[in-house]
Amino acid sequence: MAHTAQKYNKENPFLTDLLVNIKLNKEGSQKDTRHFEIKLKEDEINYLPGDALYVCPENDPNLVKELLSLITLEHSQEAEFTRFTKEINITRASNKLFKLIEDKSSGAHKAAELTEKFNGYNLVNIIKSFSDIQFTSNEIAENSSKLQARAYSIASSMRAHPNQVDLCIARVDEEINGQKILGVCSNYLSSRVDLNSTNLRVYVHVNEKFRLPADKKTNIIMVGPGTGIAPFRAFIEERNCDRDAGEQVGKDWLFFGDQRAAYDYLYQEELESYKSKYGLEITTAFSRDQAEKVYVQNRMKENSKQIFDWLENGAHFYVCGDARRMAKDVDLALHEIIRENGKDAEAYIKNLKETNRYSRDVY
């Protein structure tokens, strides 16, 4: 399937239904990773494996109502509720808001100090902390950041799931500076979107830099711990459709990691069925199942010779997931593997990138 022109975008999102919302982690896990299925109309909107889906989140309506009760409204209650629900980021303050507080307090409060002091606070808690200052709705709106759509790697093949797009998302629930931080979009999808209610706004992000090999006989190596598995579920499904159609397809090798095998092996039954039916190779790393933590990059190094042989025979290498730690560690491990096998790692990996055989989808 080729892309049709994307007529939906940030200004004109596709309005659709959330069909499925399932927690993938088993009872006892410290994580909350969700599998979502979203309805599409193929003649209206489509995607290819490797693409991402933008989801337009909405703020918690209870938080919006509380915020509006603390400020002077310059438009009707209904109009302000819509504006602050869909357009304004009220979970984190922008630097402009702290500058506004500095100005309104005639310099009694310094913006730089407020930025550090109120890190993690939402706008309700910040405004409550300055009960002597009056804010208008326009002041808050104009000095806050916009509520942005979030992009998520698509976790399905449209050939395997016609008229549907799947996502694999970790629900963000953290604490910063004594404040509970709930990821706007992950919690919106997990807790506030009713199933089959046609109120979810989405649009596709085409990612030509993260594609399956044009030659289907090419082997692929995929490294995707946690929610990094998302695009690789799409890759595997797509290539299984090719296999079912009788085409010659290369081997698929997945490196997957998470905390504990008993609770956090995402899509385990599905992947193991692909292993028996289609020959999917799976190498896992569950960091907390032994005294010494083991990660995907450790498993890569244990399989150094085989990875190198696959690369020498034209395999494509893919990474998806955390950019700050995992992707860097995987890149270091790949350099080490190339060096161990007698090649100039820098030159070898430069060539992999230039020939589109080393692709990363990191965030």
CA distance 102 to 114: 9
CA-CA distances (angstroms) from residue 174 to 7, 72, 144, 265, 355? 36, 31, 22, 22, 40
pLDDT tens-digit series, residues 142-154: 999 999 999 999 9
**Beta-carbon count within 10 A of 131 CB:** 8
Q: If you average pLDDT over residues 62-78, what whole number do you get?
A: 98
Confidence at residue 3, expressed as pLDDT on a 0 to 100 scale: 60
Burial pattern 174-201, b for ≥16 Cβ within 10 A else e, equals eeeeeeebbbbbbbbbbeebeeeeeebb
User: Residues 289, 298: contact at Cβ < 8 Å?
Assistant: no
Q: If you average pLDDT over residues 55-64, what whole number do you get?
A: 98
Is a pLDDT exceeding 60 seen at residue 4? no
Q: What is the DSSP string of 173-184?
A: EEEETTEEEE-H
Its pTM stands at 0.95
Confidence at residue 43, expressed as pLDDT on a 0 to 100 scale: 83
- The architecture (CATH level 2) of 14-57+149-205 comes to Beta Barrel (2.40)
Local structure of residue 136 (DSSP, 8 states): B
User: Residues 302, 225: contact at Cβ < 8 Å?
Assistant: no
User: Residues 323, 222: contact at Cβ < 8 Å?
Assistant: no
Q: Structure tokens of 37?
A: 């299925």
Confidence at residue 1, expressed as pLDDT on a 0 to 100 scale: 56
Is a pLDDT exceeding 60 seen at residue 198? yes
CA-CA distances (angstroms) from residue 231 to 75, 155, 267, 333? 43, 5, 13, 21
Element (H, E) at 168: strand 164-170
User: Residues 123, 70: contact at Cβ < 8 Å?
Assistant: no
How many Cα neighbours within 13 Å face the side chain of 94? Answer: 15
Confidence at residue 146, expressed as pLDDT on a 0 to 100 scale: 97
SS3 126: helix
In the chain, where are the structural domains located?
14-57+149-205, 61-142, 220-362
pLDDT tens-digit series, residues 12-51: 999 999 999 999 999 999 999 999 999 998 788 999 999 9
Nearest to 320 by CA among 188, 164, 209: 209
Mean pLDDT of the chain: 96
Confidence at residue 7, expressed as pLDDT on a 0 to 100 scale: 87
User: Residues 25, 264: contact at Cβ < 8 Å?
Assistant: yes
Nearest to 209 by CA among 10, 1, 8, 51: 51
Confidence at residue 6, expressed as pLDDT on a 0 to 100 scale: 75
What's the CATH number for 220-362?
A: 3.40.50.80
Confidence at residue 193, expressed as pLDDT on a 0 to 100 scale: 98
CA distance 233 to 220: 13
Confidence at residue 5, expressed as pLDDT on a 0 to 100 scale: 58
Which residues make Cβ contacts (< 8 Å) with residue 224, sequence separation at least 6?
230, 231, 232, 254, 255, 256, 318, 319, 320, 321
Confidence at residue 282, expressed as pLDDT on a 0 to 100 scale: 98
CA-CA distances (angstroms) from residue 107 to 19, 113, 139, 300? 51, 11, 18, 55
User: Residues 295, 326: contact at Cβ < 8 Å?
Assistant: yes
pLDDT tens-digit series, residues 76-127: 999 999 999 999 999 999 999 999 999 999 999 999 999 999 999 999 999 9
pLDDT tens-digit series, residues 131-143: 999 999 999 999 9
